[in-house]
Amino acid sequence: MGRLVVNQDKIDDLDKLIKLCPFGAMENVNGKLEINSGCKMCRLCVKKGPEGAVVYVDDETAAIDKSKWKGVAVYVDHVEGQIHPVTFELIGKAKELASKINQPTFAVFAGSGIKDKASELLHYGVDEVFVYDYKPLRHFRIEPYSYVLEDFINKAKPSIMLIGATTIGRSLAPRVAARFKTGLTADCTVLDVKENTDLIQIRPAFGGNIMAQIINPNHRPQLATVRYKVMSAPKRSDEAHGNITYCRIDEDKLISKIEVLDVTQKESEVNISDAEVIVAAGRGLKSQADMKMIEHLAALLKAQVASTRPLVEAGWVDARRQIGLSGRTVKPKLIICCGISGSVQFAAGMNNSDFIIAINTDEKASIFNIANIGIVGDMYKIIPRLIDSIKSGKGVNL
């Protein structure tokens, strides 16, 4: 870890130095410079301030023996044995990372009555599945599940652990990270690995204005969560390869202060993450009534309707249909973006789509940087022509 050291005697203009900080993290306290918790360690004050006034000191950290930590592990996210598809996507990424550093892939599966279902994971290329099958693990409760992952990590010593950014995963991952005093990067969009097994974790930061590259060189395991539909799942093999290890654990550790009284099945709801075709509307839409045009096009294409955040905040579209960092991540075969500029926040939620068509009046809109087909024009003229062409069964000539 690094820190900033202030040399008060080398500051000639305190107010000028304070103005350098874009985060307002420097304050004048009784004529002396103090750095508050708003500091993002960007070091602009070091580079642009008076020489020696603020100095960055990199504290020495004891190097970890990385040879003792091997393998890429995936937490199997499930509800009563029904495995969430994000698990298979993470297995695909785990296999890719493991092949680069010549290490095995693991899966840790905790629950009750799951022994038969654990073998399914071997059809996706996992080298070893660690199964914790105990009655107290039938329903997810944070204390016993945290202990299970702690036990698994102590036994298997994985260098990297990937967890789906589901409701369960987002609750579990930070607690496990805290137990091992290691780092956790949430909602990663890109993962890679160095030859020395350091995990390269990339995710949007500062409100999506930059893509941050994060590494955790001196702690293990390295933890990251990934949203559903960000990675690609491997194809299921007809033959199962790998081993299943049934783990023993002290059942006294599975006692929870939470008692599950009843479980009610949630009604099915719209999930744009599973849609194969999406028509998405953005700020270019002039009124809520114009959503009918978007819905008409979507109906003809048997597509789901989605939108950007401004339309959700305006109350025009249900929040469950929002695409982006604060919404859903999608990976359809086709997405048509209507009047969407293409901010980093939105792009991070859909840039893995198979085919992207963008319609925007601004030829410099960011959405065109990721679109397969970009149409510069007024969507109020283009979409009706698309609708007429689809109805007539003729080719589209724009």
Give start-end residues of each CATH 3.40.50.620 domain in the chain.
66-254
The fold of the 66-254 domain, in CATH, is: Rossmann fold (3.40.50)
Domain(s) labelled CATH 3.40.50.1220 in the chain stretch across: 272-392
Q: What is the pLDDT of residue 397?
A: 57
Look at the domain 272-392 and name its fold. Answer: Rossmann fold (3.40.50)
Of 90, 108, 98, 91, nearest in space to 70 by CA = 98
Tell me the C-alpha distance between 219 and 215, whole Å. 10
Please give the pLDDT value at position 393.
78
- What pLDDT, on a 0 to 100 scale, did the predictor assign at position 303? 96
Indicate the pTM of the whole model. Answer: 0.82
Work out the number of other CB atoms within 10 angstroms of the CB of residue 392.
9
Residue ranges matching CATH 3.30.70.20 in the chain: 2-58
Closest listed residue to residue 149, CA positions, set 177, 122, 182, 126: 177
Q: Which residues contact 152 (CB under 8 A, 6 or more apart)?
A: 73, 108, 130, 132, 247
Instruction: Give, in order, the Cα–Cα distances in Å from 160 to each of 36, 213, 230.
Output: 33, 16, 18
Q: What is the pLDDT of residue 208?
A: 67
Nearest to 300 by CA among 183, 232, 390, 195: 390
Instruction: Pick out the chain residues at pLDDT < 50.
Output: none
Query: Residue 395: what pLDDT?
Result: 60
**How far, in Å, CA of 81 to CA of 25, rounded?**
48
Architecture of domain 2-58: 2-Layer Sandwich (3.30)
- Count of beta carbons in the 10 Å neighbourhood of residue 309: 20
Residues near 271 by Cβ (< 8 Å), separated by ≥ 6? 320, 328
Q: What's the confidence (pLDDT) of residue 63?
A: 80
CA–CA distance, 140 with 209 (Å, rounded to integer): 36
